[in-house]
């Protein structure tokens, strides 16, 4: 598959950076990105996360989407199209990834408005 092609769905195999190639005109692509953004937000935001944490989040969202695809088939009565053994392995893989990633929400590091204004005032007075 060409590297510059936009995706409306997951690639056939995991590719690092696939999230940046998703075509957000498609609902599934938006849902995948929303899950990723929510994971990053729950971990305090990308600026507070290591590369490994961001990579774990990208992998977890990929696996989660595969699980949702299987669940959709089951809910549509297409149980014969779902390999339950593979689905179980996906769930176990996802569980391991999110456990390593962390299950607790971490608040974003934000300053109070007055602290921000004071810091900007001091920066401006030092610049003069």
Taking the C-alpha atoms of residue 97 and residue 61, their distance in angstroms, rounded to an integer, is 10
Domain presence at residue 1 = no
Can you give the pTM of this predicted structure? Answer: 0.75
Q: Which domain holds residue 121?
A: 18-127
- Residue 73 dihedral angles phi and psi, to the nearest 5°: -60, -45
Domain presence at residue 50 = yes
Asked whether residue 127 carries a pLDDT value surpassing 70, the answer given is no
Asked whether residue 93 carries a pLDDT value surpassing 60, the answer given is yes
Asked whether residue 125 carries a pLDDT value surpassing 70, the answer given is no
Domain presence at residue 96 = yes
Total tally of structural domains belonging to the chain: 1
Q: How confident is the model at residue 123 (pLDDT cuts 50, 70, 90)?
A: low
> What pLDDT is recorded for position 106?
81
Domain presence at residue 4 = no
pLDDT tens digits, one per residue of 53-77? 999 999 999 999 999 999 999 999 9
């Amino acid at each position: 598959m060409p590297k510059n092609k936009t995706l409306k769905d997951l690639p056939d195999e995991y590719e690092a950076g696939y999230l940046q190639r998703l075509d957000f005109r498609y609902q599934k692509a938006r849902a995948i990105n929303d899950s990723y953004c929510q994971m990053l937000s729950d971990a305090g935001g990308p600026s507070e996360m290591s590369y490994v944490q961001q990579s774990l989040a990208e992998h977890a969202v990929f696996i989660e989407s595969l699980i949702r695809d299987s669940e959709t088939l089951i809910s549509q009565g297409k149980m014969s199209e779902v390999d339950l053994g593979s689905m179980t392995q996906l769930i176990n893989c996802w569980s391991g990834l999110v456990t390593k990633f962390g299950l607790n929400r971490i608040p974003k590091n934000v300053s109070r408005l007055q602290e921000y204004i004071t810091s900007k005032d001091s920066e401006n007075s030092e610049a003069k």
